[in-house]
């Protein structure tokens, strides 16, 4: 009788993903196993209603149908505001956003979040108003696989941050489409050959 080899590190992979976390290169063997047997894992999880997604930037997560309908956890709002501010500040400084945010190592003291009244107001709206609050936030991002946090208050972002970039593009595109609908005829000509 033919026996099926068990999928490597299945329990560890499942435990990590079911927490809502990402598996990235930083997870070493877990990532390697998923990368090598992605289709097998995907087929394994599918009947359980768990959609294993491999992002084009090579990290993995569960996208469940329930997750779309369920409101995101309250802790996610501060994370989102934190990230949006960082993106905006980087762009205003003329930095190439993706390259900068995913390659730089940041310090808590150097963050722009508590340095301008506008940003402070945004952070207050999600109940973060001091450095301790920011630190707590970063630690929570590290748990979810968004960032790597060190005890000396330095951190760097990990690949799952790309999902936020994707979301920002989606917001921008939706806004542009909305304005085009309001102002017909202003659509820029795009030559497919040029892109």
- Residue 2 CB, shortest distance to another protein, in Å, is 26
**Does the footprint of another protein cover residue 164 (CB under 8 A)?**
yes
* C-beta of 33 vs 86, nearer to another protein: 86
Say how many CA atoms lie within 13 Å of 41 toward its Cβ: 25
Q: Which range of residues in 15-23, 27-35, 108-116, 149-157 is near another protein by CB under 8 A?
A: 15-23
Exposed, middle or buried by CB within 10 Å (0-12, 13-18, 19+), for 99? Answer: exposed
**What is the spatial distance between Cα 20 and Cα 144, in angstroms, rounded to a whole number?**
7
Out of 7, 10, 35, 76, the residue judged to bind another protein by CB under 8 A: 76
For residue 126, CA distances in Å to 73, 82, 92, 123, 149 come to 13, 9, 23, 5, 21
Which sign does the torsion angle of CA 127, 99, 165, 117 carry?
positive
Under a CB-based contact definition with an 8 Å cutoff, are residues 67 and 81 in contact?
no
| Using rule CB under 8 A, residue 183 touches another protein | no
**Choices 5-13, 23-31, 33-41, 168-176 (CB under 8 A): range interacting with another protein:** 168-176
Min dist CB 151 to another protein, Å, is 25
Q: 24-63 mask for another protein (x: CB under 8 A)?
A: ---------------------x-xxxx----------xxx
CA distances to 38, 50, 53, 62 from 66, in Å = 22, 10, 15, 11
Q: Are 129 and 184 in contact (CB under 8 A)?
A: no
- Which residue lies nearer to another protein by CB, 130 or 176? 176
Q: Which is nearer to another protein, 66 or 183 (CB)?
A: 66
Distance, in Å, from the CA atom of 191 to the CA atom of 195, rounded to the nearest integer, reads 7
Residues 88-127 interacting with another protein (rule: CB under 8 A): 88, 90-98, 121-122, 125-126
Q: What DSSP state is assigned to residue 187?
A: P
Our CB check for another protein shows the closer of 43 and 171 to be 171
Residues near another protein, by CB under 8 A = 17-22, 45, 47-50, 61-68, 70-74, 76-77, 79-81, 83-85, 87-88, 90-98, 121-122, 125-126, 144, 163-173, 175, 188, 191, 194-195
């Amino acid at each position: 009788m033919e026996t099926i080899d068990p999928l490597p590190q299945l329990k560890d992979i499942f435990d990590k993903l079911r927490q809502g976390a990402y598996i990235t290169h930083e997870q070493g063997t877990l990532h390697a196993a998923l990368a090598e047997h992605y289709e097998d894992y995907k087929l394994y999880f599918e009947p359980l209603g768990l959609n294993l997604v491999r992002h084009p930037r090579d990290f993995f997560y569960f996208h469940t149908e329930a997750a779309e309908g369920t409101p995101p956890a309250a802790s996610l709002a501060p994370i989102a505001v934190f990230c949006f501010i960082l993106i905006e500040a980087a762009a205003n400084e003329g930095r190439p956003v993706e390259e900068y945010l995913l390659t730089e190592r940041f310090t808590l003291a150097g963050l722009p979040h508590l340095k301008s009244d506008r940003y402070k107001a945004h952070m207050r709206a999600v109940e973060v108003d001091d450095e301790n609050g920011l630190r707590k936030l970063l630690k929570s991002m590290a748990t979810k696989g968004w960032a790597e946090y060190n005890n000396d208050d330095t951190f760097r972002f990990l690949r799952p941050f790309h999902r936020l970039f994707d979301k920002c593009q989606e917001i921008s595109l939706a806004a542009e489409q909305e304005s085009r609908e309001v102002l017909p005829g202003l659509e820029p000509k795009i030559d497919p050959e040029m892109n």
